[in-house]
Amino acid sequence: MIKTLAKQIKQFKRASIVTPLFMILEVFCEMAIPYLMASIVDDGINKGNLNHIYNIAGGMVVVALVSLFAGAMGGKFGARASAGFAHNLREAMFYRIQKFSFKEIDKYSTAGLVTRLTTDVTNIQNAYQMILRMLVRSPMSLIAAMVMAFFLNARIALIYLAAVFVLAIILVTIMLLAMKHFRVLFEKYDKMNESVQENVASIRVVKSFVREEYEKKKFNTASNNIYKLAVAAEKVLSFNNPAMVLTTNACILLISWFGAHLVVSNELTTGDLLALLSYCMNILISLMLLSMVFVMITMSSASAKRVAEVLEQESSIVNPENPLMEVKDGSITFKNVSFKYYDDADTYVLNGVDLSIKSGETIGIVGGTGVGKSTFVNLISRFYDVNTGEVIVGGANVKDYDLEVLRNNVSMVLQKNELFTGTIFENLRWGDENATDEECINACKIAQADEFINNFPEGYNTKIEQGGTNVSGGQKQRLCIARALLKKPKILILDDSTSAVDTSTDRKIREGLKNDRPDMTKIIIAQRISSVKEADRIIVIEDDKVTAFATHDELLKINETYASLYEAQTSGGGDFDEAKLNSKGGEE
C-alpha cells in the first residue's frame, strides 16, 4: 500500500526529502539555545562578564535567524510536497478510474469513488505534511535533547530516560485503549448519521405513518449511546494531559533536588542546571507530539488504504494488442454466451444465449425487471466481458476491436442517463466533437428534441445544469438519444430510453430512426409492448435465458409470456407515460 502511494510522489521527491532536513536543522538550532543560555549564566552573569553576554547573545540571534530560515523553508517545502502529493494522487486515481470497466465502476460505486477522490485525498495530504514535518522532527528533537542532556550531566539525563520510558508506556497505552473505543464510536456515529439521512429522505413516510415520536425515541437512544461511547473513549484520553503534567513536574522536582546537590558539590554549574530544565521540556513535548502524529497517521491509514485500492485496481477490460480499427457492419452474433457479474456468484445472469442479428435490423427486447435485458446489450459494446462464449459484432469478436472504435460504432443510450454542465450544443458534441450545427440540429429532429429546444429562450445554447436538473425527464432522454445519434454508429441501443416520453413522441422517434438511418442496427429495450411491436424481430428474455426470438405476430402465437404481456397492456390499453419518470413528481 505504502509503495503504491509513494510512487505518486514523483516530481515532489526533492521537496519531500528537503523538508525533513530543514526540520532537523531547526531542531539543532533549537537545541543550541539552552546551551548558549547556560554559557550566559555561567561565564557571563556568574563571572560578571558583560562582554561575554553580548557575544553569546549575538550568537543566539544568529542561531534564531538560521532556525527561522530552516523553519520557513521546511514549511514551504512541506506545503509544496503535500499539496503536490495530493495533486498526483488525485490525477493518478482519476486516470485509473477512466480506464475502469463497468465492473470496477460497479464495484466501487459513484459515492465510493467520489469519497476517495475528495475526502480521502485531503486526509492523506494532511497526514503526509505531518509526516514530513513532524515525524522526523519530533524523534530528532527528543534524541538531540537527550544527547545534550547526557553531554551536560549523565546522571540527570538518566532521570529523563526513565521519564521518557514511563511516559511513552502511558501514552501508548492510552492511545491504544482510546483507538479501540473510537473505532466503535465511529462505527456507531456512521450508523446514526445514516439514520438521520434516512429520516431526511423519507420524511414523507415517517409523517404519513405518524412515526415522529417513534423515530425520535430511536434517535435519542442512538444519540445517547454515542454519548456513552464518546465519554468512555474520552475518559481514557483525559489521562493524557495529567500524565504529561505529572511526569514533567516530577522531573523538574527531581532535577531540582539532585541538581542542587551536584551544583553544591561543583559537579554542575547553575547555567547547566537551567539548560537541563529546558531540555526536559523539549524531550517531553516531543514525545507528546510524536504520539499525536501517530494517532493522525493511524486515522488516515484507512483513507490511504482506500486510495491505494483504486490505484492498484487493474481494469478487467483492456485493449487487445493488435486491435481491429474498423467495424464492418452492424451485424451481431451471440455464440453460447453466459455471463455473471461476480465470478463467485452461483447463478448466471445470462445463460447460453445463441442468436444472430442482421445489420440494419430493428430488434426489440422485452422481459421482466432484472432478467438481464440491460446486461445483454452491455455485452455488445463490451462494457463487460462474457464468462463463456463469444459476442461477435461486424464479423469479429468484440475482444479484438479497439475499445474506442467499438464503442463509437455501438452507440448506447443508457438507462441511467446523464447530461453534463455546458450548453446543449456542447452536450450533443460529446457524440462527435466536430459535428456542425446542422448535424446537431438534424440529430435532434430525429430524436424529437428540436421542438422543445427551440422553445428555450436560448435555444441550442441553453446551459444544462449539473446533472441536467433544468430539463424534464423526457427532454433529457431525447437529448441523450440525439447525442448518441451524432456518433453515426452502426448499432444504436436504446435501453429503456423513451420511458418518460409519451407514446406518440415515442412513435415519431422510432419512425425517424427508421427513415433516417435505415442501415443502422437498432436495438430497443422497452417495458411498453407498443415500443417494440413494429420491430423486425423481438427478443424475449425470461430468467437467465432468451426464450423466444421472432416477429410480433409469431410471438403472439408461440410465446405465452409475450402474449400475456401484450394482453395485459392492450386490454388495459397503453399507458399515460409522461408521468412514469420523475420519481419526485413534477410539481415539487
Partner 1 sequence: MAQPKQVKMGQRGRGPMPKIEHPFRILKRIFGYTFRWYWIHWIFVVICVFASTFSSVQGTMFMKTLIDDYIIPLTEQSSPDYLPLLYAILRVAGFYLIGVVAAFAQARLLMYITQGTLRNLRDELFNKMESLPVRYFDTHAHGDIMSVYTNDIDTLRQMISQSLPMLLSSVVTVVSVLVSMIVLNWLLTLITISMVFVMLFCTAKLSAASGKNFAIQQRSLGSVNGYIEEIMTGQKVVKSFCYEDKAMEEFIKRNDELYVSADKANTFANILMPINAQLGNLSYVLCAIVGGAFAIKGIGSFTLGALASFLTFNKQFAHPINQISMQLNAIMVGLAGGQRIFDLLDQVPETDEGYVTLVNAKMVDGKLTECEERTGMWAWKHFHKADGTTTYVELKGDVEFHDVDFEYEEGHPVLHDIDLYATPGQKIAFVGSTGAGKTTITNLINRFYDIADGKIRYDGININKIKKDDLRHSLGIVLQDTHLFSMSVKENIRYGKLDATDEEVYAAAKLANADAFIKHLPQGYDTILEGDGANLSQGQRQLLAIARAAIADPPVLILDEATSSIDTHTESLVQKGMDKLMKGRTTFVIAHRLSTVKNSDCIIVLEKGRIIERGNHDQLIEKKGRYYHLYTGNTAQS
Smallest distance, partner 1 to C-beta of residue 336, A: 26
**225 within 8 A of 188, measured Cβ to Cβ:** yes
**515 within 8 A of 552, measured Cβ to Cβ:** no
CA 300, CA 540: separation in Å to the nearest integer?
Answer: 51
Nearer to partner 1 by C-beta: 534 or 578?
A: 578
DSSP 346-408: SS-SEEEEEEEE-TT-EEEEEE-TTSSHHHHHHHHTTSS--SEEEEEETTEEGGGB-HHHHHH
Reported residue count of the chain is 588
Nearer to partner 1 by C-beta: 270 or 338?
A: 270
Nearer to partner 1 by C-beta: 150 or 219?
A: 219
Smallest distance, partner 1 to C-beta of residue 584, A: 7
Smallest distance, partner 1 to C-beta of residue 202, A: 3
Nearer to partner 1 by C-beta: 335 or 408?
A: 408
DSSP annotation of 559 reads: -
Nearer to partner 1 by C-beta: 215 or 361?
A: 215
DSSP annotation of 545 reads: E
Kindly state the cell numbers that stand for 249.
513536574
Q: Dihedral sign for Cα 150, 155, 159, 165, please.
A: positive
Smallest distance, partner 1 to C-beta of residue 355, A: 22
Nearer to partner 1 by C-beta: 519 or 588?
A: 588
Smallest distance, partner 1 to C-beta of residue 52, A: 9
Nearer to partner 1 by C-beta: 252 or 396?
A: 252
Smallest distance, partner 1 to C-beta of residue 265, A: 9
Smallest distance, partner 1 to C-beta of residue 332, A: 17
**430 within 8 A of 440, measured Cβ to Cβ:** no
Q: Dihedral sign for Cα 108, 114, 119, 123, please.
A: positive
- Is residue 459 left, alpha or beta, with left meaning phi > 0 and alpha meaning psi from -120 to 50? left
Helix axes 13-39, 270-312, angle to 10 degrees: 170
Smallest distance, partner 1 to C-beta of residue 8, A: 13
Smallest distance, partner 1 to C-beta of residue 197, A: 6
Smallest distance, partner 1 to C-beta of residue 130, A: 12
- Is residue 382 left, alpha or beta, with left meaning phi > 0 and alpha meaning psi from -120 to 50? left
The residue among 315, 306, 316, 314 whose CA lies nearest residue 113 is 306
Smallest distance, partner 1 to C-beta of residue 504, A: 5
One-letter identity of residue 53: I
Smallest distance, partner 1 to C-beta of residue 90, A: 5
The residue among 429, 500, 422 whose CA lies nearest residue 466 is 422
**531 within 8 A of 498, measured Cβ to Cβ:** yes
Smallest distance, partner 1 to C-beta of residue 68, A: 4
Nearer to partner 1 by C-beta: 277 or 335?
A: 277
**497 within 8 A of 477, measured Cβ to Cβ:** yes
Nearer to partner 1 by C-beta: 246 or 335?
A: 246
CA 247, CA 397: separation in Å to the nearest integer?
Answer: 74
Helix, strand or coil, per DSSP, at residue 342: coil
The residue among 307, 308, 342 whose CA lies nearest residue 103 is 342
Tell me the C-alpha to C-alpha distance, in Å, between residue 571 and each of 491, 532, 546, 564: 33, 17, 26, 10
Nearer to partner 1 by C-beta: 47 or 518?
A: 47
- Is residue 525 left, alpha or beta, with left meaning phi > 0 and alpha meaning psi from -120 to 50? beta
Helix axes 154-201, 212-237, angle to 10 degrees: 170
Kindly state the cell numbers that stand for 90.
488525485
In DSSP terms, 524 is beta-bridged to 364, 494
Neighbour count for residue 529 (Cβ, 10 Å): 20
